Structure formats: C-alpha cells, structure tokens
Structure 1
C-alpha cells in the first residue's frame, strides 16, 4: 500500500501560506475541535447555537474583529483573518456567519464609518464578545437592490426617528447593537434620498428583533428581523462618515472576503470526512476507498478544493499588498461558494444512507452553502458584476 498524503500535503499548503499564518490557523482549529466540533451536529438539528457563550470564547481566542486596528482588535492581516474564517466554516457556515457579521459587518461599519465616541463605546466590548452586533440592510421586499430600501430616518429636531423593517439578519435576536441603514430626508445631486447608517442599541424603545424559524439551511445560526417602530435616536447615533450606499456596500465587500476563504474550509472538512469514511467502511470485503469510482470522486473533489484554496490565497495576497477590487471579491465569492457546494454534494454520495444524518458533515455543509450562495450578493449578482466589468455593459439596468 502506498503512503497516505492529506489533501493539504498534496497541495503543498505550507508553500501557499506563511508558516506563522498556518500556525495561527492551527490554534483556531484546535480551539474549535475542543469546544465546538462534537456539538455542532446537535445544534444544527435543534436549530440554534449558544451565540453569547461562543462569542465570549471567540473573543478570548481573538477572532472577533481581528483584522481591524485598535480598540481591542487584533490588527491581523487579511490572510490571517481569512484562514480563521476557513477554520470556522470547516465546523459550520453558521459559526463563520456569527463571526463575519460581528467583525466584518457590524464592527467594520463602526470602525470605518463611525465617530470616535461610537468606536470607543462599542468596539472593545464587541472584540471581547461581551456585546453582539448585527447589520440591518436587507429588507422583506428588498434584497439585491439596496437602493430600493424602504426603511426611513426622519429628522425631528436634533433627533432621528426610524421606521421600517429588516429581514434575514444574522444575530439580531441576540444582538446588543444593530447597524441599521435607512433613507433620509437628505437629497443628493440626482434628487435621490441619501442613505445613512445608524448605530442602534437593540434595547431602544420601538426596536424588536423577532427570530426567524423553520429554516432548512444555516440552522446553527440565529437569524431574525429588525422591526423599527418610531425609534427615536440622538444625532450621535448616525455614522458620520457614511453617506450613500458606498457605506453598506463596503461592509458587504469586507464580509464577502471572509466567505471566499471560509467555504474552502467547508470543502476541506467534507473531503477529510469522506476520506476517513471510505477508508473504514467495508463493502464487498473491501474498503470503499479501494473502488475506482470512489477514488475518482475523491480526486475530482480534491482538484476543485485545490483550485478554490489557491484562488482564496491569491485574493488574500492582493488584499494585503495593494487592496482588493470589488470585482475580485465577486470573482472569489462566485467561484468558491459554488465549487465548495458542489464538492460537498458530490462527496455526500460516498456515505450512502449514513450521509443524510447529522453525524457526517458533507450534506450539512452543502445545505448551508445554499444560504451562503444567496447572501452577501447572490450568485447571479456576482455573475452580472463580472459581466459588467468585462463588457462595460450594465446588465442590471433595464
């Protein structure tokens, strides 16, 4: 029998990423293996996750807002953050979503667009996991076209009055603070109402965050709404540096970067699980891994995994060295999520009937990735974004 190499050994992952970055990823993986891995299947079946307990643990580990500078944040590189997301999503997309929403949406919005007072009030506690944040952009009738949002913020003296509703908001039922985007009375040069962001403590009168139930995908994640009924906020609640859709879209681009890396973790975990199962499951007096069709499936999945890992590493390098373009993030999300989902689907078949249980991860990953394919810009939106970049023609317009 030939010697056995892991997928990452064949890929030569130690030549793809720096030694210190892989050591950091190993620390994250060890913590997750010790504290989360054995429990995630039950959380998925139960449709919940102990968000507050995990947030504090992840805060102590140092992954919440780790790529931000100051205010208790780690100041890590983009690649280091990406590798942390990779380990988180190797456990479950819901876990990576908790961290992404906290660090790359809510914390990034405050860090990049907020006042000094907002930063000092929220970021240290959020970095420690002592406060949980959420990000309110998507609405019940407005997904891919944020310019069509109906949530409205009206001036009343020095205060703002917010009314509206946000939908599909990760963490909202357990959040202490929500970053909410709304149209205002202010009009831009084109005569359109200017979008502004607001830092909204969820205990503010008029704020409700009901949970969304009956999810089939991303079940180990707490998802809800943000309902705003005449919510009065002081002038200091507005993010002073964000004007227009550039604010929320910059946050989405930051979160998408974590997805680009994260889904490679789901693919790796599915591949590792399939290799372990087929190596020990006996059929016709032979391990499943000894059959040509099994090896064909495993080799195909490995090739796909290798390609998306290299793409993620390339985008991370660009982001660290010179800054990444939104189109490059769209390329990453479009390719890595779709490919990872297909890897997990294909490998599920190697488990036979056992593959539909929560004991094994590939189907859970595949079902979760259906959600990841949709949020932070649907697969089709990223296709059109790249089409526009390559042709100069905006296919979004009528």
Structure 2
C-alpha cells in the first residue's frame, strides 16, 4: 500500500468511516428492501451531474405493434362506443352487464398476461395507451380495467408464482373467469406498509380433510379496488413462525398470498363510494382464516419476500396506470377546452381571446405535451425491462398533480358548463376522479416528501448506497477498505462537480455540449448545469445532515422536485426528437422546458434559503448561482401562442390530443363540441364580414343575430350559401354550450345505504 494511500486512510477515510457509521440513517427492513429493489435508469444519469444526452436520445422510440394497434382500432373502439359515463356513474353506479361481459370476452383484464396462458402480453406502452383512451371517456371504466393490469395477482404471479400457481390461475384471470383484487392498505397502514397489522401465523390445520402446513390469517383491509366483485383475493400480511415450523426465524416479514374469495372465513362484497365514481371498491376482512402454505405467491420459498415483490411490481401502477389517467386528463382538456374557448363568446368575441383565459390555456397545452412525453418515456423504461422505482414515483406524483392543475384550469374556463352534471358534461366526473389518482399507490404528499429524493439520493447516487453497504459490513476491516476506495472516488466526483458547477455559473453554461442544434440546444446545456448543481447540493445535504436528512422532508422534497423536473424536461426533449422536430409543437416544447427550468430554480432557491445550516446554504448559493437563479417562468407570449393553437383545427391539434375519444354519435358531448368548433372555425371569414359591416354601420351592431343576417343578406354582404353555413354553425354552437337540466322527480335519494365502518 502506497504512502499516499496510507495517509488518506489514516487522516481521511478512517475518520470518515467512523463518522459515516454514526450519521448513517437507520434503515428498517422494508426501507432496505425498497432501496435494493428495482433498477436505476435515466434517473441515475440525471443524478450523476453529467447526463449523457445521447443515451437518452437512443432509447427506443415507443411504438405499438400491429396486433396492439389492431386491438386499439377494433376492440377498444367498440368498448368506447359502448360506454355511457353518465349512466355508469349517476344511474347504475356500476358498469352495465354487457360492458362487463365484453371486457371479459375481449381480454381487457389480461393485457399483461403471457400468451401461453391465454393473455394478450401487450407492451407497457400499449397498456398505458389503452387505459388513457378509456379514461378520456370514463374514469370508472379505466380504473376497473387498469387494476388487474397493474399491481395485482396477475403481475405478481407472472413474476414470482410457482409453475402450478401460474398454470391454474393465469388462464382463469386471462379469460375473465376470475376477477382479482389485491389487498394491501388497511386502517392503520397505508404508505407505511411496514406497519401492516394484518397477521399470519405458521401452523398446521385442516384443509380438504387433511392436516397440512399452512397459515392462520387475520386481516382488515379497505380501499380495495374490485374487491366487491373479486373472485380471488391477493393479500399482504406479516407472517410469524413462533414454533419454528419452517425455520429458526420467528418474524418472517411481509408475505403475499392468493385466496379464493369463497374460501371459508373470507369477508368480501361490501362497497365504498369513492367520490361518487362507479368503480368497484370496498373492504375485506378475515379472522383466523386457515390457508395451506402453497397459497403463498411463489410458495414457501417466497415467505417473507412480499415487500420486495410489491415494491418491484409497483412500477406498473405508478408507471403505467396512474400516469395514464393524468395524461388522459391532458388530452381531454386540451381538446375540449380549446374548442369551448372558441365557440363560447362574451362581449362579441371568443373567450379564448381574453388574456386571462389564454394564460390558463397555455398551461393546459404545455402540460399536455409534457404529460404525453413523460408517459411515453416512462413506459419506454418498463418496455426495456427496467423497474425504475424513482422514475415511476416521479411520473405518478407529477403527472397526477399536473392533471389536477389543468383540470382546474379547464373547469374555470368552462365555468357553469362544467359544474352542471349530466350527459353533456365531459369533465365533471374527471374532477371527482383526480383525487383518487392522487391518493392511491402512495399518497402524493408522501411520494414527494419521502420517496423521490429520500430513496433517490441513495439509490441513484453513484457511490452512497455502496458506501452504506461498506459501513454496514460486519467485517469492519474489509468494510473500511471498501469504504476507502469508494470515498476516494466520491471525493473526486464531488470536487469535479463543484468545479464544473462554478465554471457553468461563470460561463452561463455555454461550454456545455448539446447533442442537437437548433432551438432546443440551449436547454440541454442548462439542464446539464442543473444536474451538476443537484449533485453538489445532494452531496452537501447528505454530508452535513446525515440521517437527519430523512426527517427534513421539506428539504428532501425540494431536492426531489429538481430531480423530477430534470426528468420531465428530458421526456420533452426526447419526444420532440422522436416525433421529427415538429415545428408547430415548438410553443409547447418551449413552454414545458422553461417551466421545468423555472421549477428547478424555485426549488434551488427554497433549498438554499431554508438549509438548516445557514452557512452551508450561503456557500452553496455562492458556488452554484453566484449571479442569481435566472430561470424565468414561461412567457405570456408562449401562452397566447398555445391558446391560438388549441383554437385552430389541424394536424397539430390531432397530435396533441390523439388519445381523446371523440364519438360519432349525435349525442356524444365531446363529438358535439368538436363539430361545433370546426363549424364555427369554418365561418370565421363570414363573421368577419358581419363585424366589418356592423362597424361601418351597414347593419346594426346590437340587433339579434337573426336580424343582422337578414339585413346582411338583403344588402348583399353575404350570400344565401354563406347564410345557411353560418346558421348551421350557430345551431351547433348553441347546442354545444348548453347544460343539462332535469325534472324535480329525476332527483331521487341515493340507493346506497351505509354499512359498518371499515
């Protein structure tokens, strides 16, 4: 060993090793499993301080196979045409029997099950596309379909089931003969899954007349989607072996089992009322229910491995289903709000021409572009067989929050048109439904404050997780040696990032490289700067706060916001390149990227201003942003341009809203709004003639439209054909802006009666 290495160990590594062990945040078994589960993907590049943008751009472009496209064009389109969301939610509070039958028959519940078991085996991208399309028409139907295709028995069996379990259950799930649910959440354990009170005890018991090794279970679960109609129940519980029947360890940890719903002792069938939506959701309970050991998913070998199984499989729910709901809101609101803002008039002009409305429309269009970009990049990771827990947590949190924001914007613009429920209202049920997406698969507050950076800082950092493992090594000598090597690399990494961050500050990031030329090149350079600054800030936070960082949730959340917006900006850049640099999309691209940089700047400012050690915060500000943080929010000009694009028919509008269902039937509310919009846009030149004639005094300004048209025709200002075209457009417009009304007798007391609390 060289003299230099000896000196480093004696004066740097060994003292740091001892300090690191002291400040090392204590990890519970569930936290450790969550930390080690899954994989690091593009999030690791962003955390490195030196993201390789060529790596991003060479990821596969998301595409549907011929089989997937055929399913979307045929089976999915047929299902969409069958759905009447008002009937589902307000009248039946359930999907009609023919819809349930069609979903089963056409295998909508088996999108992820292998073909060898009768499933469709579709890609994550296809799964997401199907759920998004359905969600633009009916959130209740989308939730019903997405649950068996995300976290649930189908996915757990596919990845971890024994061959006998797969052979028996997967064909039944694929055919729709069995409907699954998965019970994880209970009254005392939601995001704190490690606190599950539901208990199983290894014992012998009677099953089908024989004494077999098994588990005696007691559980009380709630919020379980599909539980009221499920025929098979997936269950997570803590397993104990007090008599040592399957080994020397008494507390075996979280375990997952699959139980037929008609098994003696299983209580299932009641319903919750999730914000008046109509998807099946309810509690399940059991007291001293005996099950054989081979009902554990994966068999006895997977006893105690349930939490790792769940964490790895959460990628489907967090990365596919919930982001799909958020994206659906973007497509729906962009298409309908743009149309409504054009056809709805106040003070003689379309309301979209008012700057206040345009500002909200800019946000709707910009966020929708970003939502679709994040959806496709996230499903790309899953189709590359990655299990990126941090990326999917980012997608779940930010995509549902963006959807909530633009849904509120759309409600504001539609005003009274949005708050009167009825068959004509195409966004009211989505307004009720977004809090559901925000709450499930980890409540958003905890996802942001504890997961994204709390786990990401350790999981994505090039060295920290390895350093933690070295410090935890029971062989202190080898642990210290490993730690010394890692620390040397970590110091070099940190010093390099500090130096390059300061260089970026003094050169305005001009020396950073971009993989492309043109209008987006500057964003690659600025995002590289932000990535370096995040790496420096994260190192300082972990060094100075140690285990305390785990409890400094507001600091952790803001650092997570920086990582998240780096990811969202990456998704926008990738989409823009994948789609051939569509020039008409540039206003949305600029809006999205400027928004992300601005949010990174705000998060940095708040981190540095609130850093617990004020001196460290001031030092970081001097090193990273000596001339201030100058990432401005998107300009008003961009908002106006996006508003104009949303109110202009064309391929750009179709591309932005291609997932939105637009029905051909005369009564379809989105189709009606679309037809009114196109008709009104088609008579804009005629309207200009009338406005010009009114200004000149040739026709009265304040007369009714019918009077204006009559005089304009008499004076030859418009032709008979133009009169007919304008009258047709006006009829469509008047019908499209109407709201539903009902006779007093139509309002009946809800048939739902409260049951016992769960």
**Global fold match (TM > 0.5):** yes
Any idea what the Cα deviations from partners look like across 1:72-129, whole Å, max 9, x if unmatched?
1112211111111211222233322222221222211222222222222222222222
* Partner residue, 2:52: none
CA 1:52–1:154: 2 relative to 1, 3 Å:
farther
CA 1:247–1:202: 2 relative to 1, 3 Å:
same
* Partner residue, 2:258: 199
Contact 2:79 2:99 in 1 (8 A): no
Worse-superposed segment, 370-379 or 318-327: 318-327
More strand by share: 1
* Partner residue, 2:123: 77
Count of paired positions? 381
Matched, 1:294 2:357: yes
RMSD between superposed Cα atoms in Å: 2.7
Contact 2:241 2:250 in 1 (8 A): no
* Partner residue, 1:245: 307
Matched, 1:86 2:144: no
* Partner residue, 2:90: 45
* Partner residue, 1:57: 102
CA 1:279–1:131: 2 relative to 1, 3 Å:
farther
Contact 2:390 2:452 in 1 (8 A): yes
Deviation at 1:263, TM superposition (A): 1.8
Contact 1:263 1:336 in 2 (8 A): yes
* Mapping for residues 115-194 of structure 1, pairs under 5 Å: 115-157=162-204, 158-186=213-241, 192-194=251-253
Worse-superposed segment, 58-67 or 366-375: 58-67
Rounded to whole Å, the distance in 1 between the matches of 2:113 and 2:353 is: 47
Worse-superposed segment, 238-247 or 140-149: 238-247
Contact 1:159 1:235 in 2 (8 A): yes
More helix by share: 2
CA 1:248–1:328: 2 relative to 1, 3 Å:
same
CA 1:17–1:28: 2 relative to 1, 3 Å:
farther
Deviation at 1:244, TM superposition (A): 3.6
* Partner residue, 1:362: 427
SS for the counterpart of 2:360 is helix
Contact 1:55 1:130 in 2 (8 A): no
Rounded to whole Å, the distance in 2 between the matches of 1:354 and 1:344 is: 14
CA 1:302–1:286: 2 relative to 1, 3 Å:
same
CA 1:42–1:52: 2 relative to 1, 3 Å:
closer
Rounded to whole Å, the distance in 2 between the matches of 1:91 and 1:186 is: 49
Matched, 1:228 2:228: no
* Mapping for residues 351-390 of structure 1, pairs under 5 Å: 351-358=414-421, 359-383=424-448, 384-388=450-454, 389-390=456-457
Deviation at 1:150, TM superposition (A): 1.2
CA 1:191–1:117: 2 relative to 1, 3 Å:
closer
* Mapping for residues 311-330 of structure 1, pairs under 5 Å: 311-330=374-393
CA 1:102–1:274: 2 relative to 1, 3 Å:
same
SS for the counterpart of 2:191 is coil
Worse-superposed segment, 152-161 or 276-285: 276-285
Contact 1:56 1:128 in 2 (8 A): no
CA 1:62–1:289: 2 relative to 1, 3 Å:
farther
Deviation at 1:261, TM superposition (A): 2.7
Deviation at 1:189, TM superposition (A): 9.8
Contact 2:88 2:96 in 1 (8 A): no
SS for the counterpart of 1:166 is strand
* Partner residue, 2:11: none
Deviation at 1:212, TM superposition (A): 3.5
SS for the counterpart of 2:452 is helix
Rounded to whole Å, the distance in 1 between the matches of 2:250 and 2:396 is: 33
* Mapping for residues 245-284 of structure 1, pairs under 5 Å: 245-258=307-320, 259-284=322-347
Structure 1 unaligned spans of 5+: 1-14
SS for the counterpart of 1:34 is helix
Deviation at 1:177, TM superposition (A): 0.4
Deviation at 1:290, TM superposition (A): 4.2
2:149 to 81, 103, 114: 103
Worse-superposed segment, 68-77 or 355-364: 355-364
Worse-superposed segment, 294-303 or 24-33: 24-33
CA 1:335–1:326: 2 relative to 1, 3 Å:
same
Contact 2:225 2:282 in 1 (8 A): yes
Structure 2 unaligned spans of 5+: 1-59, 205-212, 458-537, 553-758
Rounded to whole Å, the distance in 1 between the matches of 2:70 and 2:171 is: 25
CA 1:33–1:289: 2 relative to 1, 3 Å:
farther
Rounded to whole Å, the distance in 2 between the matches of 1:265 and 1:30 is: 16
Rounded to whole Å, the distance in 1 between the matches of 2:235 and 2:163 is: 18
- Between Structure 1 and Structure 2, whose CA radius of gyration is higher? 2
Worse-superposed segment, 142-151 or 202-211: 202-211
Rounded to whole Å, the distance in 1 between the matches of 2:139 and 2:391 is: 22
Contact 2:64 2:126 in 1 (8 A): no
SS for the counterpart of 1:64 is helix
